[in-house]
Amino acid sequence: MLAKRTSKNQITLPKAIVQIAGEADYYDVTVQDGKIVLTPVRLHQADAIRTKLEELGITQNDVGDSIAWARRRA
């Protein structure tokens, strides 16, 4: 299938591709072997991670402190 990039760097995904890959508002974009790869991102997955962190009692400050600690060790 052919998709055209506009002057604003926008591409419309063909309907058949969206039907196969599933509807998503966001896509992770990578380049592999010179090919642009779009991977649908389901935001509810991020919500599941936030819920798990909350269940474990891990706060945003804990994450920030962990990152700062890891960067000091590098």
Euclidean distance between CA atoms 37 and 28, whole angstroms: 8
* Residue 30 near residue 37 (C-beta atoms within 8 A): yes
- The domain locations on the chain are 1-41, 44-73
* Residue 27 near residue 39 (C-beta atoms within 8 A): yes
Residue 73 pLDDT more than 80? Answer: no
Tell me the pLDDT band of 15, cut-offs 50, 70 and 90.
very high
Tens digit of each residue's pLDDT (9 = 90 or more) over 29-71: 999 999 999 998 877 777 888 888 999 999 999 999 999 999 9
Residue 11 pLDDT more than 90? Answer: yes
We find that the CATH architecture of domain 1-41 is Ribbon (2.10)
Phi-psi region of 73 (alpha: psi -120 to 50; beta: other; left: phi over 0): alpha
Residue 14 pLDDT more than 60? Answer: yes
Torsion of CA 62, 64, 66, 72, to 10 degrees: -150
* Residue 35 near residue 25 (C-beta atoms within 8 A): no
Residue 23 pLDDT more than 90? Answer: no
Residue 74 pLDDT more than 70? Answer: no
